[in-house]
Chains A and B, each alone.
Chain A
Amino acid sequence: MQPHVDSVVLSLAFVCASVLLIVWLACRAIDEYFLLRDATLEEMRRFAEAFIREFERPLRQPPFLDAPIRTCIRARPGRGRLKVLLAPHRGRRYPNLSDHRTNVMYDVTRVLTALNGQPFTCRAISTSGEWVVIAFQHQCQAGRTS
């Protein structure tokens, strides 16, 4: 009777240990995922802010010292994708793609050149309603998503 009990205890202990290990590993993986996600998100936020700041700098010249553009950021850190949405502020006409596509493309190139060393590349420029959508891909995560 004793050996049977021992084997049951051992089995239970093994199962418990395995479950604990799996839970620990899962927790760690989840933690790492969120850490990485937060870090990517922070990196994207910083890049987007720098991009917007440089984009609007020439538009914020005297006497136009108020915000020249409206902005919005959409990020999918898991895929390393970032969308910066820009629209003209009230009373302004830029940026828009209907008659300023070349100027927007020039400005995106100019800003990326000014922010030299950032791990983002421009994937596409499109329109969504009144917004100009500039899509970026995080270079380090480009391989993972493709």
Chain B
Amino acid sequence: MNILLLSTGGGGGNILRSVKTLFHRDVAITGKTDEDYAKRLKAAVTTRFLDTNEFSLADIPTDERVIIGTRTTHGLGARHNPEVAREALEESRSEVAALMAQHLVIVLIGTGGKGTGAGTLFPLAQMARQQKKLVVPIFVRPSFERHEVDKRRYDHALKVAGQFESAGIRFVEILNDRGYDDSAPKPQGAVWEAMNRPIARGLRGLIHVLWDLSQVDPSDLSALFAGNGRLRIGFGEMTPHNPAEPTSEQVEEAVRQCWHNPYYAFSKPAGTSLVCIQGDWSNIADAKIKSRLAAWAMSENDNLYNPLYTRTDRSPHPWGVTALFSEYTGVHPPLSIDWGFERIPPPDLRQDVEIIERVEEPAPTSSLESVPIGALQDTCPEEEAPLAFSSFREFALAVNRSDPAALTLAGDAAAPRFSVDGSDVMKLLGTMWFRSVVQQLSREWRERILEAVLTNAAIPNHLVKIGKQSIHLNELNYDQLRTVRAQFHLPGAVRPLVELLVTVGRLWGPAAIERFSFAEPHDENEGMKSGGMLHAFRS
């Protein structure tokens, strides 16, 4: 997934410089162990510095500068006037829109201090939303009590925050007021640097998650960013010594750092939240991290916290836990976001065939080009065609890494030469990366997989307690299943079944749930047997 990190104005630019430094360091370190991964990571992230003042971008490479409104401002800045900045953005609207169109996720960084950031951050977020992008606005509210700005500009900054609220765009709001400590005075530059660091580290963690949709379910992201309210990024560092297993104290401290970030405006309980764990340690440590974070979140309200867990295995030090918490502001319909699946280039059969032919027969290219594709396929004896994938899992993994042969097969209606085992599919459905793979499969493939699941799984029709009511699983529709999963405590035997039904409903549509056959549970252990089969759905 292409990510655009776009700063606006001087303050936003300073934060982006910190983020960029960390990111480049990450890419360099990753490149030493996995050059291909580092290259893809680097290619997925673009940094751009938008400003009205050319001089403030003197240290930025030319191709990363976005000077707006040169006719309005003559490249001399917005004269501390947000209105001038807004006019400048209007003047350069088409260029900025074209830049946004090339990316799926847009992280906007701006401060509400003077002109450019205060005047352009909200219009930029609106532009991104109009293009159905996933937008993460990061807004810094300046301090007038500490004389960073005067009260008039502070009030304008509040209006910007109000615009985000009323437009239903979730945003991160950072309070510069919180960067002052009368008991330990520091220079202004040091204070800003100290505040930029956690933002940059938090964003770094998010980049590692967001650039690869196999790490996170797009529909979960649509739900996470839906509605109004604020977001909070947290990062807690954890560097275990040898053996590489963090101690309980390290876990506790990292989770505390991640949860307690004093710089953010965040006044409601945490609702849906993205939790990303980075580190090469055991799943026991992961479980401790999740458990401690949930304990913090549920100390505020034990019903609303809905974590989405992801893991990035190849991110370099510093390791730890990054989280994006969202304020719970009610239940909102998921955002309509263009995830760009249709942009995945269709498999070019001609090219594939040519490559195979060139390897096997050193014939001149010109002669190949003159041969029709059908004729080429006919000339390939079927028994000589290599069996590309031995199992469905192997095939799914290949689709996930955009393997051309796998993509060709994924778009094909013909039956595969390997069997599609229902239990394999159900294990895969418990992973997040596989859910994005399903989106790339042809209608026939999707039907084939669903059939495999349906024939494999007879769901024990457990009674689910919802408040004072008891309802059988087969009486719940998709929306009710989602609510039950999110808001009610379910027994260990029932939760994986609900997770499976919700996942199938999400990927194949609510009608697919009705196709499941439900069986009466014979005894209490039946659920446990199914649970063993569905262990992938256990969080």
- Using CB atoms and an 8 Å cutoff, list the residues of chain A in contact with chain B: 58, 61-63, 65, 92-94, 99-100, 102-103, 106-107, 110
Name the segment of B7-15, B30-38, B150-158, B397-405 touching the other chain: B150-158
Q: Is B266 an interface residue (CB 8 A)?
A: yes
B520 to chain A, nearest CB (A): 51
A97 to chain B, nearest CB (A): 13
| Contact of A94 with B144 at beta-carbon distance under 8 Å, contacts A61-B158, A102-B150, A107-B151 already known | yes
Chain B residue contacts of A102, Cβ below 8 A: 150-151
Contact with A along B132-145 (1 / 0, CB 8 A): 00000000000011
Contact with A along B272-306 (1 / 0, CB 8 A): 00000000000000000000000000000000000
Do the beta carbons of A58 and B155 come within 8 Å of each other?
yes
Identify which of B147, B150, B265 contacts A61 (C-beta below 8 A). B265
19 A-B residue pairs with CB within 8 Å: A58-B154, A58-B158, A61-B158, A61-B161, A61-B265, A62-B173, A62-B230, A63-B175, A63-B266, A63-B267, A65-B267, A93-B145, A99-B147, A100-B145, A102-B151, A103-B150, A106-B151, A106-B152, A107-B151
CA distance A106 to B267 in the complex (A): 28
- Using CB atoms and an 8 Å cutoff, list the residues of chain B in contact with chain A: 144-147, 150-152, 154-155, 158, 161, 173, 175, 230, 265-267
Chain A residue contacts of B144, Cβ below 8 A: 94, 103
Do the beta carbons of B155 and A110 come within 8 Å of each other?
yes
Chain A residue contacts of B150, Cβ below 8 A: 102-103, 106
| Contact of A63 with B265 at beta-carbon distance under 8 Å, contacts A58-B158, A92-B145, A93-B145 already known | yes
Do the beta carbons of A62 and B265 come within 8 Å of each other?
yes
Chain A residue contacts of B151, Cβ below 8 A: 100, 102-103, 106-107
B326 to chain A, nearest CB (A): 14
CA distance A94 to B149 in the complex (A): 14
B416 to chain A, nearest CB (A): 54
Q: Please name the 4 residue pairs, one residue from A and one from B, whose CB atoms are nearest each other, closest first.
A: A103-B151, A62-B267, A63-B267, A93-B145
A90 to chain B, nearest CB (A): 13
Chain A residue contacts of B265, Cβ below 8 A: 61-63
Do the beta carbons of A62 and B145 come within 8 Å of each other?
no
CA distance A100 to B145 in the complex (A): 8
- Please name the residue on chain A nearest to B143 by beta carbon: A93
- Please name the residue on chain B nearest to A104 by beta carbon: B151
B102 to chain A, nearest CB (A): 34
Chain A residue contacts of B266, Cβ below 8 A: 62-63
Chain A residue contacts of B230, Cβ below 8 A: 62
- Please name the residue on chain B nearest to A61 by beta carbon: B158
Chain A residue contacts of B161, Cβ below 8 A: 61
Known: A63-B175, A65-B267, A106-B150. 9 other contacts (CB 8 A): A58-B158, A61-B158, A61-B161, A62-B173, A92-B145, A93-B146, A102-B150, A106-B151, A107-B151
CA distance A105 to B265 in the complex (A): 27
CA distance A13 to B273 in the complex (A): 91
B266 to chain A, nearest CB (A): 7
Chain A residue contacts of B173, Cβ below 8 A: 62
CA distance A100 to B152 in the complex (A): 12
- Please name the residue on chain B nearest to A92 by beta carbon: B145
- Please name the residue on chain A nearest to B150 by beta carbon: A103
Chain B residue contacts of A61, Cβ below 8 A: 158, 161, 265
- Please name the residue on chain A nearest to B146 by beta carbon: A93
A102 to chain B, nearest CB (A): 7
Question: Which interface residue of A62, A102, A106 has the most chain B CB atoms within 10 A?
Answer: A62
Chain B residue contacts of A107, Cβ below 8 A: 151
- Please name the residue on chain A nearest to B159 by beta carbon: A58
CA distance A65 to B266 in the complex (A): 11
Chain B residue contacts of A99, Cβ below 8 A: 147
Chain B residue contacts of A63, Cβ below 8 A: 175, 265-267
CA distance A47 to B275 in the complex (A): 49
Question: Which interface residue of A61, A65, A106, A110 has the most chain B CB atoms within 10 A?
Answer: A61
- Please name the residue on chain A nearest to B152 by beta carbon: A106
CA distance A61 to B264 in the complex (A): 12
CA distance A37 to B359 in the complex (A): 103
- Please name the residue on chain A nearest to B230 by beta carbon: A62
B126 to chain A, nearest CB (A): 22
CA distance A25 to B190 in the complex (A): 75
CA distance A58 to B143 in the complex (A): 12
- Please name the residue on chain B nearest to A57 by beta carbon: B158
CA distance A94 to B265 in the complex (A): 19
B530 to chain A, nearest CB (A): 45
CA distance A50 to B147 in the complex (A): 27
- Please name the residue on chain A nearest to B151 by beta carbon: A103
Chain A residue contacts of B146, Cβ below 8 A: 93
CA distance A92 to B146 in the complex (A): 10
Chain B residue contacts of A58, Cβ below 8 A: 154-155, 158
Chain A residue contacts of B158, Cβ below 8 A: 58, 61
CA distance A107 to B152 in the complex (A): 8
CA distance A25 to B151 in the complex (A): 54
CA distance A142 to B267 in the complex (A): 45
CA distance A93 to B158 in the complex (A): 18
Question: Which interface residue of A63, A65, A102, A106 has the most chain B CB atoms within 10 A?
Answer: A63
CA distance A58 to B157 in the complex (A): 10
